[in-house]
Amino acid sequence: MITSVCSPNLVAPRSKTGRWVPGKRWLPSVIVAALLPLLTGTAAAQDDLPQHMEKARAAAGDLGARLLADLQRAIDAGGPATAIGVCSTTAPRVTAEKSALTQMRIGRTSLKLRQSKNAPDAWEQRQLENFEARKAAGENPASIEVGEFTEKDGKPVFRYMKAIPTATLCLGCHGAQIAPEVAAKLHALYPKDRATGFAAGDLRGAFTITAPR
C-alpha cells in the first residue's frame, strides 16, 4: 500500500545505522525544508522595503520640487494662464525623464482628475481614499505616504504613493475661484476637468511609483 505524502504517520526509510525506525515521524522536517526558501525569501524581500521606500521617496520629492519650481517661474512670467503649460506639457516630460533616470514608473493620480489618463487603478484608489482618511484624522498631508510589495498584472512589484498637498500657488488653476481667462483655457484643454475647488492644504492627489522587485 502506498502511503500518502499528507499522512502524519509517514516514516523515514532507515536510520543512520541502516535499520528501519518504525513510527518515527519525519513529515514536519520535510515541510520545513520545503518552505524554508519561501520563508527566507519573504523575509529578505521585507528587509529590502526600507531601501525601496527611500529611493521612491527621494524620486517623488525631487520631482515635486522640480515641478513647483517650474510652476513658480511660469506664474512669475505670465500668471496662472501661462502656468497651465507647465502642467500640460512640462510635467509629463519631466516625469518621463525622472522615470527613465530612476528605472521606476512614476506618475500622478487623484480622486479629482484633470486628465483621464491619470485615473487611479484599484490599488491607487484605495490608497488615495486612505490618504484622505489619514488627513481627516489629523495627519500632516506633507508626510502621508505608503509603500509595499504587491503584485501588478500578475508580476511582483514594489508600489509607492506620496500625497501631494495643494500649494497656494496652485490655487490659480485648481482653487474655488479661477479667473475667467484661466477657466476658459482650462476648459479648452480639459473639457472633463474635475480638478478644481481645492483649498490650500487639501490633498490634490499623489505621486505614484511602481518598480520591479
pLDDT at 47: 77
CA-wise closest residue to 161 among 207, 98, 202 = 207
Task: Give me the number of domains the chain comprises.
Answer: 1
Q: Is residue 148 part of a domain?
A: yes
Nearest-angstrom CA–CA distance, 51 and 46: 10
Name the percent of the chain in helix, strand, coil, to the closest 5: 55, 20, 30
Q: Answer whether 109's CB lies under 8 Å from 138's CB.
A: no
Where in the sequence is the domain holding 79, given as residue range(s)?
A: 45-212
Q: Is residue 37 part of a domain?
A: no
Work out the pLDDT band at 183, boundaries 50, 70, 90: very high
Q: Answer whether 63's CB lies under 8 Å from 95's CB.
A: yes
Q: Is residue 12 part of a domain?
A: no
pLDDT tens readout for residues 128-155: 999 999 999 999 999 999 999 999 999 9
Q: Is residue 164 part of a domain?
A: yes
Q: Is residue 66 part of a domain?
A: yes
Q: Is residue 181 part of a domain?
A: yes
Helix axes 27-47, 49-78, angle to 10 degrees: 30
Q: Is 181 left (phi over 0), alpha (psi -120 to 50) or beta?
A: alpha
Q: Answer whether 67's CB lies under 8 Å from 91's CB.
A: yes
pLDDT tens readout for residues 24-79: 444 455 444 454 444 444 444 567 999 999 999 999 999 999 999 999 999 999 99
